[in-house]
Structure 1
Amino acid sequence: MNGVAVGVFVFIFLLVTVMGFAAARWRRADDMGSLDEWGLGGRGFGTFITWFLVGGDIYTAYTFIAVPATMYAGSVVGFFAVPYTVVVYPLIFLFLPRLWSVSHRHGFVTPADFVTGRYGSRGLGLAVAVTGLLATMPYIALQLVGMQVVLEVMGIGTTTGNWFVKDLPLFIAFAVLAAYTYSSGLRAPALIAFVKDALIYLVIIVAVLYLPSQVGGWGAVFDAAKDSFNGFNADNADTIAAGGANARAIIPPGAAQWAYASLALGSAMALFMYPHSLTGVLATKDRSVIRRNASLLPAYSFLLGLLALLGFVAVAAGVKVDNAQQSVPQLFENEFPGWFAGVGFAAIAIGALVPAAIMSIAAANLWTRNIYRAFINRGATPAQEARQAKLVSLVVKLGALVFVLALPNDFAINLQLLGGVWILQTLPSVVVGLFTRWCHRWALLAGWAVGMLYGTWLAYGVATPGDPGSHFGGSLVMFPFTDTKVYIAVVAFVANVIVVVVVTPILRMTGVPEGDDITSDDDYHADADDPDVLDELDPSVTVR
């Protein structure tokens, strides 16, 4: 344990904790007893705040651990995260302003709220809500995995010994997270995101300028990575040929290029279907904030590209770890002075707290609006909704903590694979519904069910290399009737769309009721100064 690194880490963590509790008074209305206030921060965030909030939400601690880890491990498709974050922003520029408008006109808090109102179907809304909850839980758990890795490298959290002592730092961190999320709602991660993003930018820029110089420059970094991967392939040629291991490379060979492209496209389509991604968007004050952020957020993609290359730097620096996820934290500990290593560790840990808070809030909103109010207490008051959301946010965090501590980390990682497969199946109901109501509600529900079942079945059938009897061991599968591997979520999505397109005309011809649409064409273009759309909230005014 490096005392200086630990001291800096603890100081920054305490600073963030104070900010989390102070956020309860930041831009506060007189009444916090509603989901608009607690779960969406008053729906009044501008461009600057939203840029940090959404960026802090999307680029998680596990992103900063997992992306360079895939490069360190020689994954030929590991760099897909960079193009997918480039592709996603033009997509959201097209549809998120429409979702903002209709949500602010009708008071929708979740994507499932919109689906219920658009199609007049609580059942379809329930399907979207349950999918969001399923996809979010392992995502929260992976933030804990990212923090665990940092604590292990620092020597605070160990991999051996009494389970209570071993995991006590993690308990403390997420008890603090639960407390200030409960009291401050979305304002807490919004305020902390300033510190998180500033630290991340500082650490990564210093790392990409300083660390390569310690190993001979970027040319030496790429040469070392190439030599390491070629050596692995030569030493394990028979195992690779038998399917017991994957070949390593810097650039995907021809056979893996469709896999690379489908991972990038499928992930881009899925990213803003996650409830936590949409929560930050619905908290903005007007449509133009969303458009400006869609233009500005690619700066994070540049950051992510630099971060991914640190996996190669770790190879060149001779970092040796059994768990590839430890490669970047171990690189920081080996190469940085103790005080700056502490800053780097704090940046990654805080990078877990911000998205975990937003994810738990988004999950609580789904439960409260689309299960509790829709099916259990249909006359729930705003205060009752807020109280439910606060309690459920605690339950969600506790569930994620138990999930990580009780199960192997690779189980959580493999379930996160399913998160992308599942959440993409909500795209026809949400995104297509923003532009047209041609799809029949029952066809959408049937397509969702087919996509969910088919995608889960495909993922279950993928074994981990070297372990033929295992399941959920990867994200790629052969596209039907071809010998080309693609992302499982894309295959399931294609099946989903086929069912919707085929079943919709049949249901319409047989006269099956389509449900009542409570929205109108004007709702999708409403802006902050239009009737029935709240302006940015004055902190001294009680939200209605």
Structure 2
Amino acid sequence: MAALAVVGGASLLAVAARRFHRTEDLPTLDGWALADRGLGPVWTWFLLGSTIFTAYTFIAVPGLVFATGAPAFFSLPYTVIICPLAFGLLPRLWAVAREHGHVTVADFVRGRYGSSALALVVALTGILATMPYLALQLVGIRAVLVAAGLPARSAAGDLVMVALFAGLAVATYQRGLRAPTVISAFKTAAVFGAAVVVLGFVLGKTGGPGEIFDAAAERGALLLTPAQQPAYATLALGSALALFMYPHVLTAGFAANSRDTLRRASVALPAWTAILAVFAFFGVAAYAAGVRPAPGGAEATVPLLVERVLPAPVAGLVFGALVVGGLVPAAVMSISAATSFVRNVYVEYFHPTATPKRQVRIAKAVSLTAKAGAIAFVFGLRDQDAINLQLLGGVWILQIFPAVVLGLAGRRPPHRALLAGWAAGMAGGTFAVVHAGFSPVVAIGPVGVYAGVVALVLNLAVTFAATALLVTTKNSPESGVNP
């Protein structure tokens, strides 16, 4: 009941988003998808942090720590790297988007390179990578609900999941980005509060940090071997670069009201990393607490730990906070995927004269479809399928990094070179991950390296080689162009 009360409170806030910013203007995609680009520093920090740090993050990271030990802590330097990237990249992207009216990152690419084909692959890559990420929010929520007492893969559990997303879908349909923005403030308070409460109970019930780390040391979970270090470093770097290419993160950034707002919010993002570090510590504490997830079910580590060390009413509140943690990113993901489809597929190729009102109506419908598709995916396939696809999604989304970041440079590669690099990175990265049995780390000689970084290096190599070839061809005597 406590968990339902927390989720119910968040749902009421989502409905109240209609009062967040009332306007009599005609509906536009800027207004629905970006909250009229009017979020101040505090709201931007709430929304960015709540979008980047998803429910599955707070479930998967401690589960990975429990299952693999020290290598899983790559998530902490990864989220530290996020902060300077946000400080340096987001304000520059925001300025170009604001000046030219870009709503999506594919709009930005279209404007910088003048290529509808490159914009299309950027948009489709973003949508393709976002959908399994959206499904993983449901996987995380289901793990929490099961620990809270709902039977796994039962009719009752499925109905609760559908009800949760139905409320979110209605609020998002009506108010767009304003709904998750309002919920993000609630999520921040709930998740930060839950971390402090659980930490206090864990330290009290397990005998303190000494007992916890002694238990972890017995399992050999605290040591990072030299052979693991390249994988650790490339996972941290590659994951950080990939994160800022996801449409939902850029949507949250584009909704800010100024470049200075984004800088201020970025400077405060390490507070979220600190909370993630607390949750990662719970993966270590689970050893001392005697938590034993089922084989292949490490994502249940935190819910089982909460159930073991907290009184039932308090555990219910924490479960509710974790469920709310999945609602904000799920909403923003569906909005960003829908907006990318409308701007860069529907308007570009099917209905160039679509009015702003029609664009919003189509985006709302696609947003609902995305949520329904995520639910169907989670109900119809194994959790591991969603995890495998999200792993591929991280490799795929990293392949638009050159097009986006080089688009901020004074001299940019030709769009055909970037398309060739993208194709090579997508093919090479997909092959590497699948060939390694859906492992994020692939062997390069004697060391393991994150597959996304390997694919990005291939992407850049092909891009620069193709650029040199195109420039040489253009300036050759046969082309009729003098050097």
TM-score by length of 2: 0.96
Distance 2:313 2:466 in 1: 61
Q: Which residue is equivalent to 1:475?
A: 440
Find 1:396's aligned residue among 351, 358, 370. 370
Distance 1:442 1:108 in 2: 22
TM superposition shift of 1:169: 0.8
| C-alpha contact 1:33 1:387 (8 A) present in aligned 2 | no
2:450 is aligned with 1:487:
yes
Q: Which residue is equivalent to 2:471?
A: 508
Letter in 2 for 1:203: A
Higher helix share: 2
Deviations 1:26-68 (A, max 9, x none): 1122136111100000100000000000000000000010000
Q: Which residue is equivalent to 1:433?
A: 407
Q: Which residue is equivalent to 1:44?
A: 38
| C-alpha contact 1:76 1:256 (8 A) present in aligned 2 | no
| C-alpha contact 2:17 2:178 (8 A) present in aligned 1 | yes
2:171 is aligned with 1:183:
no
Q: Which residue is equivalent to 1:529?
A: none
2:85 is aligned with 1:91:
yes
Distance 1:451 1:28 in 2: 45
Q: Which residue is equivalent to 1:167?
A: 158
Percent identity over the alignment is: 47
User: May I ask how many residue pairs the two structures share in their alignment?
Assistant: 473
Q: Which residue is equivalent to 1:424?
A: 398
| C-alpha contact 1:455 1:492 (8 A) present in aligned 2 | yes
Find 1:281's aligned residue among 244, 253, 277. 253
1:32-111 equivalence runs, <5 A: 33-111=27-105
| C-alpha contact 2:147 2:300 (8 A) present in aligned 1 | yes
TM superposition shift of 1:23: 0.4
Distance 2:195 2:302 in 1: 11
Distance 2:159 2:69 in 1: 33
Q: Which residue is equivalent to 1:255?
A: 227
Deviations 1:191-221 (A, max 9, x none): 0011111011111112223312211110110
TM superposition shift of 1:312: 1.1
2:389 is aligned with 1:415:
yes
Q: Which residue is equivalent to 2:187?
A: 196
Distance 1:348 1:218 in 2: 24
1:104-503 equivalence runs, <5 A: 104-156=98-150, 158-159=151-152, 163-227=154-218, 229-230=219-220, 249-322=221-294, 323-463=297-437, 472=438, 474-479=439-444, 482-503=445-466
Distance 1:146 1:459 in 2: 23
TM superposition shift of 1:14: 1.3
| C-alpha contact 1:47 1:292 (8 A) present in aligned 2 | yes
- Of stretches 77-86 and 19-28 in structure 1, the one that deviates more from structure 2 is 19-28
Deviations 1:219-251 (A, max 9, x none): 110111121x24xxxxxxxxxxxxxxxxxx322
Q: How has the CA–CA distance of structure 1 residues 420 and 413 changed in structure 2, closer, same or farther, with 3 Å as cutoff?
A: same
5+ residue gaps, structure 2, are 476-483
TM superposition shift of 1:9: 1.0
Letter in 2 for 1:213: G
Letter in 2 for 1:159: A
TM superposition shift of 1:77: 1.3
Q: Give SS of 1:105's match.
A: helix
Distance 1:92 1:354 in 2: 19
TM superposition shift of 1:164: 3.3
Distance 1:456 1:149 in 2: 28
Q: Give SS of 1:146's match.
A: helix
Distance 1:193 1:14 in 2: 14
TM superposition shift of 1:177: 1.2
| C-alpha contact 2:5 2:320 (8 A) present in aligned 1 | no
Distance 2:462 2:453 in 1: 14
Q: How has the CA–CA distance of structure 1 residues 23 and 425 changed in structure 2, closer, same or farther, with 3 Å as cutoff?
A: same
Distance 2:156 2:203 in 1: 37
Q: How has the CA–CA distance of structure 1 residues 32 and 315 changed in structure 2, closer, same or farther, with 3 Å as cutoff?
A: farther
Q: Give SS of 2:442's match.
A: strand
| C-alpha contact 2:421 2:460 (8 A) present in aligned 1 | yes
Letter in 2 for 1:60: T
| C-alpha contact 1:149 1:325 (8 A) present in aligned 2 | yes
Distance 1:259 1:320 in 2: 27
TM superposition shift of 1:432: 1.4
Deviations 1:96-126 (A, max 9, x none): 1111111001110000000011100000000
Distance 1:41 1:85 in 2: 26
TM-score by length of 1: 0.85
| C-alpha contact 1:446 1:500 (8 A) present in aligned 2 | yes
Q: Give SS of 2:68's match.
A: coil
Q: How has the CA–CA distance of structure 1 residues 462 and 144 changed in structure 2, closer, same or farther, with 3 Å as cutoff?
A: same
Letter in 2 for 1:364: A
Deviations 1:485-524 (A, max 9, x none): 0100000000000011111121123239xxxxxxxxxxxx
Q: Which residue is equivalent to 1:530?
A: none
| Aligned-residue CA RMSD (Å) | 1.2
